[in-house]
Amino acid sequence: MSSMQKHLEDQIKLAFNPFYFEVINESSNHSGPATESHFKLIIVSDDFDGISLINRHRKVNELFREELSHFHAMALHTYTREEWSKKQKAPDSPLCHGGSKS
């Protein structure tokens, strides 16, 4: 696990008290030397109840305001428990237009 991945996990735990979460480092799926450049965050939290998707993403983006300048991509998947119980899975991340591996 990368140090950035651990940092993101720690911050999510503190900020959202998630029912479930995953931080997936997808950097190896993309070309280039960066090992901590592409992350997928799945967060299921009661904190998202009654909050629109855009405002959930704003909360996460605000939490990671400084870290975002170091990433090429951060996919956000934010759910309430009810939404998660219906999905149980986040969608796959799109290919990186900066040079994906084939």
Rounded to an integer, the average pLDDT of 17-24 is: 96
21: CATH: 3.30.300.90
CA 97, CA 84: separation in Å to the nearest integer?
29
Looking at the structure of the chain, the number of domains it has is 1
CA 57, CA 68: separation in Å to the nearest integer?
13
Burial letters for 81-91: b for 16+ Cβ neighbours within 10 Å, e otherwise?
eeebeeeeebe
Residue 98: inside a domain, yes or no? Answer: no
Q: What is the pLDDT of residues 28-45, one digit of tens each?
A: 776 655 677 788 999 999
Q: First CA to last CA across the chain, in angstroms?
A: 24
Residue 56: inside a domain, yes or no? Answer: yes
Residues in contact with 44: Cβ distance below 8 Å, sequence separation at least 6, in sequence order? 18, 19, 20, 21, 78, 79, 80, 81, 83, 84
Residue 48: inside a domain, yes or no? Answer: yes
pTM: 0.85
Residue 18: inside a domain, yes or no? Answer: yes
Q: Which domain holds residue 83?
A: 3-87
